[in-house]
Amino acid sequence: MGAVYFYHLTDSPLEDALPQILDRARAQGWRVLVRGRRPALLDRLDKVLWNGPEDSFRAHGLAGTQDADQPILLGADIASDGFDCVISVDGADLTPAEIASAQRACIMFDGHDGDALQHARGQWKSLTGAAVAAQYWAQDDGRWIKKAEAG
């Protein structure tokens, strides 16, 4: 059974933190789905990944016709089947079944956005209440520190 890792962004924006998490997932050989709710945010993340440093190219694509070929796929209403890691951004929901079938699931949320913080708290309660193993990670001076664990 997979686990869900909550990443509380306080020191850096999603555009800086997501590539780090993607690199860790890809280092495991995992195929990754980044699920968001707003196409504008997914487009912005697509540009961030394409325009990153040359020495850290991350092959990826936006959901479309070549989905099966993408090691990292960014999309909104994409099923998690066939992905080893599912990353939720922008408050996108994950189900206990999706988390159970993945090697890892991640929920990244902006700690400076009250609505995002409340939504993440609700996700934590809902998922841990469904017996999903969860870890809560917070940024501390540029490093990730595990602050809580359940299940």
At 12, list the tokens.
């850096």
Determine the pLDDT at residue 127.
Answer: 98
| CATH class for the domain made up of 3-150 | alpha beta
Other Cβ atoms within 10 Å of 141 Cβ, number: 6
Cα–Cα distance for residue pair 58/47, rounded to 1 Å: 11
Provide mean pLDDT across the span 37-52.
94
Cα–Cα distance for residue pair 10/2, rounded to 1 Å: 26
Provide mean pLDDT across the span 100-118.
97
User: Residue 53 pLDDT more than 90?
Assistant: no
Determine the pLDDT at residue 93.
Answer: 95
User: Residue 101 pLDDT more than 90?
Assistant: yes
User: Residue 65 pLDDT more than 90?
Assistant: no
Look at residues 34, 88, 83, 85 and name the one whose alpha carbon lies nearest to residue 63: 34
Determine the pLDDT at residue 122.
Answer: 98
Cα–Cα distance for residue pair 116/91, rounded to 1 Å: 7
Cα–Cα distance for residue pair 72/88, rounded to 1 Å: 13
- Model pTM? 0.95
User: Residue 123 pLDDT more than 90?
Assistant: yes
Report which listed range, 29-33, 49-53, 65-69, 141-145, is most confident. 29-33
Domains of the chain, by residue range, sit at: 3-150
At 53, list the tokens.
């440093």
User: Residue 69 pLDDT more than 90?
Assistant: no
Determine the pLDDT at residue 1.
Answer: 63
CB 60 within 8 A of CB 74: yes
Provide mean pLDDT across the span 21-35.
97
User: Residue 13 pLDDT more than 90?
Assistant: yes
Mean pLDDT of the chain: 94
Burial of 123 (0-12, 13-18, 19+ CB in 10 A): buried
User: Residue 88 pLDDT more than 70?
Assistant: yes
Q: 39-64: buried (b, 16+ CB within 10 Å) or exposed (e) per residue?
A: eebbeebbebbeeeeeeeebebbbbe
